[in-house]
Amino acid sequence: MSGRKQYAVLGLGRFGSKVARELFYKNQEVIVVDKDESKIHNIKDHVTHAFIGDIADEESLKEAGVSDCDVAIIAESSDIEANIIASQICKSLGIKKVVCKAQNTLHGKILSKLGVDQVFFPEQDMAIKLVNKLTSTKILDYLELGENLTIIGINVFDSFIGQTLEDLKLRSKYNISIMAIQRDGQMLVVPGADTVLQKGDVMIVFGEEQSLRKLDLDIGHKT
């Protein structure tokens, strides 16, 4: 069939699982590999072939048929070592296109130097897309990512002005991350912990829906 390719998706976190399912629904052949048996069980009816295995083990990837694929997508980025090893195995197997999810900019630079064909940063890419859609309402815009995860754009709370991201401790208090800040028409992607919030800033916030609601109840209704 014209346009039909074979894809290998290595690592079945939220992102990898979503990519694998979407490719399969678009009538592509999809092989997935993950060492978590429960993840394989949950996705096996939504891909062409699903294999339990270590993505950083060459024999596991060969047995799964990854070497026959046109494109390999290394979707696991939390384990940087496994991510890098998997990318190099795929290159050595002669796969035409190796695409790799990076955890941060340095990780992405390493992957590029090692010959990975395409490096992507899903969270940063989402932030950029969202900033381009911002409006002037309180909750400026949002993107539902599935699995109860959401990215929203929100005007900085008055009580946050003058504080650094480290001062706010949003990750430890609410399990929320500020992925980007829109300021004076510019965008700071993945701002540092020492970034001071200013009046007029727009925060691009990532987290579970219930965590974002709790933040709004605790802070938003008091400003």
Domain ranges in the chain are 6-120, 125-222
In this prediction, residue 95 carries a pLDDT of 96
Amino acid of residue 39:
K
Helical spans, DSSP H, in 11-79: 14-25, 37-43, 58-63
- Give the 3-state secondary structure of residue 87: helix
The better pLDDT of the pair 169, 220 is held by 169
Model pTM above 0.95 = no
Q: How confident is the model at residue 127 (pLDDT cuts 50, 70, 90)?
A: low
In this prediction, residue 164 carries a pLDDT of 95
3-state secondary structure 118-145: EEECHHHHHHHHHHCCCCCCCEEEEEEE
Select from 3.30.70.1450, 3.40.225.10, 3.40.718.10, 2.60.40.1220 the CATH code of 125-222: 3.30.70.1450
- Given a cut of 60, whether residue 2 has pLDDT beyond it is no
- Tell me what the mean pLDDT of segment 131-149 comes to: 47
Note the pLDDT tens digit of each residue in 152-206.
788 888 899 999 999 999 988 888 888 889 888 888 877 889 999 999 998 888 8
In this prediction, residue 133 carries a pLDDT of 45
Note the pLDDT tens digit of each residue in 62-121.
999 999 999 999 998 888 999 999 999 999 999 999 999 998 888 888 999 999 999 988
Residue 56 near residue 85 (C-beta atoms within 8 A): yes
In this prediction, residue 56 carries a pLDDT of 94
Residue owning tokens 């859609």? 133
- CATH class held by domain 6-120: alpha beta
- Give the 3-state secondary structure of residue 177: strand
In this prediction, residue 195 carries a pLDDT of 93
